């Protein structure tokens, strides 16, 4: 569950990040890292884009960026998604995710 294992791909439009999402969860949160993708859980159900909206809000909040700086670019109808992150660099993404995962690690 180390953010250093994330595959962050820089591009002209920002940093691309792969996600694995579990909609309909008990609570919203960062679950971990697996296979180079960030695992997230959201309470919203996968209906009419609700889960996608929840994912974008969760990521923006965790990463400390504006909602418009997180864009879903692939996987709108899938659990596997790709987002583009703007106004944050790879080191910033890893640092913020390390903070988000720290309480989970401390309770184990």
What are 5-43's pLDDT values in tens digits?
999 999 899 999 999 999 999 999 999 998 999 999 999
Confidence band (pLDDT; 50, 70, 90) for 3?
Answer: confident
pTM: 0.91
For the chain, helix (H) and strand (E) counts, in that order, are 2, 6
Residue range 30-85, pLDDT digits in tens = 999 989 999 999 999 999 999 999 999 999 999 999 999 999 999 999 999 999 99
Asked whether 16 and 8 are in contact (CB, 8 A), the reply is yes
The Cα-based distances of 75 to 14, 78, 86, 106 in angstroms read 17, 5, 19, 32
Complete domains list, the chain, with CATH: 3-96 (3.30.1200.10)
How confident is the model at residue 101, as a pLDDT? 86
Task: Please tell me the distance from the alpha carbon of residue 95 to that of residue 49, in angstroms, as a whole number.
Answer: 29
Q: Which residues pair with 15 in a beta bridge?
A: 10, 85
Which pLDDT does position 104 carry in this prediction?
55
């Amino acid at each position: 569950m180390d953010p250093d294992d994330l595959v962050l791909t820089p591009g002209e439009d920002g940093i691309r990040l792969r996600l694995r999402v579990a909609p309909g969860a008990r609570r919203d949160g960062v679950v971990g890292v697996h296979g180079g993708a960030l695992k997230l859980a959201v309470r919203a159900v996968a209906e009419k884009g609700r889960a996608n909206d929840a994912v974008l809000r969760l990521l923006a909040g965790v990463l400390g960026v504006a909602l418009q700086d997180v864009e879903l670019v692939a996987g709108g109808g899938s659990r596997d998604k790709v987002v583009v992150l703007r106004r944050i660099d790879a080191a910033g993404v890893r640092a913020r995710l390390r903070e988000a995962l720290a309480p989970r690690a401390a309770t184990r």
